Amino acid sequence: MQTINDSFRSSLGRWLVGTSAGLGTVLLGIAGFALLVGTAGDMGPWPLLLSALALAIVLWKWLQVMSEKFELTNQRLVVRRGIIMKSIDEVELYRVKDIRMDFSLLNQIAGIGTIQITSSDETTRNHQLVLRHVPMAQERREQLRELVDAARRERGVREIDFVNESF
């Protein structure tokens, strides 16, 4: 029986303060507002355009965040994507070969990271599954690793790597 261990999305708020793109968007919005107030409208529509551009970027990122949800069960990682056209991908945990996590200094401060999963599952056979801007990424990576080990033990699966060494 499958039980949902965790359900999460990328974090928009942490993206804003934990990535250079997010911080740039915040600064763009603040600069537009500051120019509008500081110049009392002498610059024409440009300050409003800067703030509108920042708002458009945040709305676009919000749509991206809302269109992707991850569920971690004791047997699978389920990736639900889409708002109008939806898709569901499932990665069987016993097939996961590698879990990698990347995070910058800003990511560490904001408590987010990028988790990359390589598996023999059809969903990720030719490429990695990338979970970006994951809140509590280190804890989630460790939880995923433990669930992968448990799923392999339950199924009696062992992984053997073959290295082709030609002389």
What is the reported pLDDT for 95? 92
Residue 90 near residue 77 (C-beta atoms within 8 A): yes
Which secondary structure element, helix H or strand E, spans residue 76, and what is its range? Answer: strand 76-81
What is the reported pLDDT for 123? 73
What is the reported pLDDT for 157? 82
What is the reported pLDDT for 52? 93
Cα distance between residue 127 and residue 117, in whole Å: 9
Cα distance between residue 167 and residue 164, in whole Å: 10
Cα distance between residue 2 and residue 92, in whole Å: 12
What is the reported pLDDT for 121? 82
What is the reported pLDDT for 147? 95
The C-alpha angle 51, 56, 61, rounded to 5 degrees, equals 130
| Regions of the chain short of the pLDDT cut 50 | none
pTM for the whole structure: 0.82
For residue 54, the one-letter residue type is A
DSSP string spanning 121-146? SGGGSSS-EEEEEEETHHHHHHHHHH
